[in-house]
Amino acid sequence: MSTKSYENKDVEQAKTRVSKENNLIESELSATSMNATTSKHRSTIDDAIDSVMDWVKELNENDEEKHESVKKKKKESYSYQPNISVPKYYQDGCEVDAFRRNCRGETQLHITCTKGLELYAGVLLLEYVMNPNIKDNAGWTPLHEAVRLGRVDWVEMFVDYHANIDVPGYEYETPLYLAVKCGHFDVAEELIYYGADKNCINKYGENLESLNPEKWSELSKIPSGESTLPMLINSEHGFCSRDTNYLYFSNVSIDKTVVKQFISRFRFKLVEHIVNGDFSKVTHIIVPETENQTCDVNFDCLSGIANGLFINTVKCVTDSLQKDKLCMDDKTYLVKGTTRFPICAGLRNSRISISLGFPKLFDGISIHISGDKGWEQFSLQQLKQLVVNFGAQLLTRMPKPHTCPTNIIPFHCRNNKDMYRVSTIVLYTTDSDRLVKYNLEHLKTFHISWFMDNVQNYRIE
């Protein structure tokens, strides 16, 4: 490209655009650090930077040294730093917030994929540590969108950026299930190569063979690659699904000056009050320091487990300021369990499950609480809110067996033969001779203590 090919007004317009692009690149550099990625996609994003820089140099030849320094800075910034502030970028000439969602719950990562933009546009967003498993209101992830459009290159990119290849979407349809359903068999082959689960089923137990028996007989013979899911779980990748972390102190006495210093230094926002038991705007809960790093079995901590939040002891706040380094992800400060289960995997399981895009623990199950009082330290309203926080649908009336679904397989029950078809559960807080205790395949009755034990361990037994 040469400036000689432009008319005078075109040159000015081009220079304006270059100025915006240049400012954008520099803002990206100052606001974020690169996450670890593969050499293939490092090359992709470097090529994109080079193409922009070549254009810039042709219009501003005197600033070549400056542009080279920008390129160098971009390529050297691969170390991950948590709590980064994601910059705004330009799309169609307008400034766009990378984490903003539209009315369908789609992020810019969803939109970039569905618009069929160049691969490096998705790479750039993922480099801002956006969660590749983030879902829209219908339950679809950006990986699902890439599969639906038959974009093999985008599928490869999401796998390289630690996307859960078996993430369940709407009605628990995995990317492989969707690929076969949409007839994108080349994408299906690629997913199998990456170790996608060929035994996946949807919410109603329908498998891949039921979608296309003839084609599936061919695909099923393809050797499966090694699944990336164990690697994801063992590494416990920390993904940010938004640009700001929100801190909530639960029953903690701490100096307000220390709190102000902490949220200012590490760019947190303080949540002072929880409205109607809604913890959706909280990312970290701070609890009092205990000898064995446990938290009380209270409403705040159980809600934190339900939403996959980080629960830290208050010492992490003071030590972070003293060390001038955020200690939130340090095992020394993470709560290990509850006072009832001091050493359990429930808190870690919930964080991993949510970050991988799995449904909440009781998703797909309807629950009715029988009794007009609470239980132990929990009020009846708190018990009902906990049921909702853990993903269940709250029933206001006692269910009848013939009205309960019999064809649903809740996600977290699919590997449990006793709970496989359970679509409805009755929890009772006080025993009663009049209470019918169901033990059917699709409808069961348990004491509220059964629910409490399961949510603390984050598994259904």
CA-to-CA dists, residue 359 to 229, 319, 351, 389, angstroms: 16, 34, 12, 12
Structural domain for 201, as ranges: 107-242
Q: Is residue 102 part of a domain?
A: no
Query: H/E element holding 74?
Result: helix 64-76
Residues 191 and 233 in one domain: yes
> What is the residue-wise DSSP string for 261-289?
HHHHHTTEEE----STT--TT-SEEEE--
CB proximity list for 100: less than 8 A, separation 6 or greater: 107, 108
Residues 351 and 283 in one domain: yes
Q: Using one digit for the tens of pLDDT, what is the confidence trace for 437-459?
A: 999 999 999 999 999 999 999 99
Q: Using one digit for the tens of pLDDT, what is the confidence trace for 272-306?
A: 999 888 898 899 999 999 888 899 999 999 999 99
Closest by CA position to 263, among listed 242, 248, 243, 278: 248
Residues 236 and 253 in one domain: no
Q: Is residue 344 part of a domain?
A: yes
Q: What is the pLDDT of residue 171?
A: 95
CB proximity list for 427: less than 8 A, separation 6 or greater: 367, 368, 369, 370, 383, 387, 445, 446, 447, 448, 450, 451
Q: Name the average pLDDT for the chain.
A: 80
Total domains in the fold of the chain: 4
Indicate the pLDDT class of residue 93, thresholds 50, 70 and 90.
Answer: very low
Indicate the pLDDT class of residue 88, thresholds 50, 70 and 90.
Answer: very low
Query: H/E element holding 323?
Result: helix 315-323
Q: How far apart are CA 218 and CA 8, in angstroms?
A: 60
Q: How far apart are CA 120 and CA 50, in angstroms?
A: 12
- Residue 69, pLDDT above cutoff 80: no
Give φ, ψ of 130 to 5 degrees. Answer: -75, 140
Residues 140 and 224 in one domain: yes
CB proximity list for 190: less than 8 A, separation 6 or greater: 152, 155, 156
Angle between helices 8-31 and 64-76 (to 10 degrees): 30
Compute the average pLDDT of residues 392-399.
Answer: 96
Q: What is the pLDDT of residue 48?
A: 47
Angle, CA 331 vertex, CA 326 and CA 337 arms, to 5°: 125
- Residue 327, pLDDT above cutoff 90: no
322 vs 239, which has greater pLDDT? 322
Indicate the pLDDT class of residue 107, thresholds 50, 70 and 90.
Answer: confident
Residues 224 and 254 in one domain: no
Last residue of a domain, one of 196, 211, 242: 242
Compute the average pLDDT of residues 341-349.
Answer: 89
The domain spanning residue 144 has which CATH number? 1.25.40.20
Q: How far apart are CA 332 and CA 314, in angstroms?
A: 11
Q: Using one digit for the tens of pLDDT, what is the confidence trace for 192-223?
A: 999 999 999 999 999 999 999 999 999 999 98
| 226, two tokens | 């090694």
310, β-bridge pairs: 284
Residues 116 and 237 in one domain: yes
Indicate the pLDDT class of residue 328, thresholds 50, 70 and 90.
Answer: confident
**Is the Cβ–Cβ distance between 127 and 135 less than 8 Å?**
no
Q: Using one digit for the tens of pLDDT, what is the confidence trace for 224-233?
A: 887 777 666 6
Query: H/E element holding 313?
Result: strand 310-313
Q: What is the pLDDT of residue 179?
A: 96
- Residue 406, pLDDT above cutoff 90: yes
Angle, CA 48 vertex, CA 44 and CA 50 arms, to 5°: 115
Indicate the pLDDT class of residue 101, thresholds 50, 70 and 90.
Answer: confident
The domain spanning residue 453 has which CATH number? 3.40.50.10190
Q: What is the pLDDT of residue 12?
A: 52
- Residue 8, pLDDT above cutoff 60: no
**Is the Cβ–Cβ distance between 33 and 79 less than 8 Å?**
yes
Q: How far apart are CA 118 and CA 163, in angstroms?
A: 19
- Residue 84, pLDDT above cutoff 70: no
Last residue of a domain, one of 220, 242, 264: 242
Residues 114 and 232 in one domain: yes
**Is the Cβ–Cβ distance between 392 and 443 less than 8 Å?**
no
Residues 217 and 123 in one domain: yes
Highest mean pLDDT among 15-29, 100-114, 409-423 belongs to: 409-423
Query: H/E element holding 324?
Result: none
333 vs 21, which has greater pLDDT? 333
Give φ, ψ of 203 to 5 degrees. Answer: -60, -25
% pLDDT > 90, the chain: 51
Q: How far apart are CA 271 and CA 265, in angstroms?
A: 16
Residues 236 and 125 in one domain: yes
Residues 190 and 233 in one domain: yes
| 199, two tokens | 């035994």
**Is the Cβ–Cβ distance between 95 and 89 less than 8 Å?**
yes
| 129, two tokens | 């540590």
Q: How far apart are CA 73 and CA 413, in angstroms?
A: 49
